[in-house]
C-alpha cells in the first residue's frame, strides 16, 4: 500500500473519535474536546509545505479523499523541491493516535513565549516522549465549533517548546467513539476525590 494512503487511512480511523480532556491549574478546571475532520489531515501531515505542487491547491478535504483512495501518492509528493520539509513528521504520523492516548504533559500555550520558537498559534500543546524522541501536538479551537483540532504535529528534540508555557495537571481523559458511543476512560483523577 502507498505510504501516503496508509497515513490517510490511519487518520480516517481517528475521525470516528473524540477526546474529552479536563485539566487543572490553581483550583480552576479547564475542559475541552479534541475532534478530527477530513480537512485537518492536510496541515497536520505537513502538505502545506509543498507549495510548488499545483495539485495540492485543491480543497484540503478533496486532498484527503484523494490520499485515502490512493489517487494522490507518496511518489507524487516526492517531486516537490520542498519534500524534505515533511521530514520526520510524515514518517511518524502513524504514532499520532498512540501519542493522544498517552497521558503525558499538557500545556496551555502562551503565544508570546511561543514566538521565540515558532509562529504556531495554539491553545494547548501536548508534549510526549516516545522511543526517546520528543513529540509535540498543538491544538486550537475550531472557528465553527466548540471543539479543539490538532493543528500541528512534529518531533523535535532540539528545541523545548514547553519553555514559557503553562503546565497543566491532567485530571480526566476519555476517548469516545462517535459512531458506536463506546467510551474508554483513559485517565481519571477526579473520581479519586
pLDDT in tens, 88-99: 889 889 889 999
Q: Please, which residues bridge with residue 32 across strands?
A: 21
What's residue 87's pLDDT? 80
Task: Give residues with Cβ within 8 angstroms of 143, minimum separation 6.
Answer: none
> What does the alpha-carbon distance between residue 30 and residue 46 come to, in Å, rounded to a whole number?
29
Give which of 104, 97, 106 is closest to 32, Cα–Cα: 106
CB atoms closer than 10 angstroms to residue 163: 12
Q: What is the pLDDT of residues 109-118, one digit of tens each?
A: 876 665 555 6
Q: What is the pLDDT of residues 22-54, one digit of tens each?
A: 999 999 999 999 999 999 999 999 999 999 999
Sign of the alpha-carbon torsion through 173, 177, 181, 183: negative
Query: Which set of grid coordinates corresponds to residue 15?
Result: 475521525
What's residue 161's pLDDT? 85
How much is the pTM?
0.90
Amino acid at each position: 500500500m502507498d505510504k501516503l494512503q496508509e497515513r490517510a487511512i490511519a487518520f480516517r480511523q481517528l475521525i470516528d473519535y473524540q477526546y474529552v480532556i479536563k485539566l487543572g491549574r490553581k483550583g480552576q478546571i479547564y475542559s475541552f474536546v479534541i475532534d478530527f475532520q477530513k480537512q485537518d489531515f492536510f496541515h497536520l501531515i505537513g502538505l502545506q509545505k509543498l507549495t510548488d505542487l499545483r495539485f495540492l491547491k485543491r480543497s484540503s478535504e478533496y486532498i484527503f479523499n484523494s490520499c485515502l483512495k490512493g489517487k494522490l501518492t507518496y511518489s507524487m509528493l516526492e517531486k516537490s523541491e520542498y519534500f524534505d520539509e515533511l521530514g520526520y513528521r510524515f514518517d511518524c504520523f502513524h504514532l499520532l493516535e498512540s501519542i493522544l492516548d498517552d497521558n503525558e504533559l499538557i500545556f496551555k500555550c502562551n503565544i508570546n513565549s511561543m514566538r521565540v520558537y515558532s509562529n504556531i498559534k495554539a491553545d494547548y500543546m501536548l508534549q510526549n516522549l516516545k522511543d526517546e524522541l520528543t513529540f509535540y501536538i498543538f491544538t486550537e479551537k475550531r472557528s465553527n465549533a466548540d471543539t479543539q483540532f490538532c493543528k500541528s504535529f512534529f518531533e523535535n528534540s532540539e528545541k523545548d517548546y514547553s519553555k514559557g508555557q503553562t503546565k497543566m495537571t491532567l485530571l480526566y481523559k476519555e476517548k469516545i467513539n462517535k459512531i458506536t458511543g463506546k467510551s474508554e476512560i483513559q485517565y481519571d483523577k477526579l473520581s479519586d476525590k
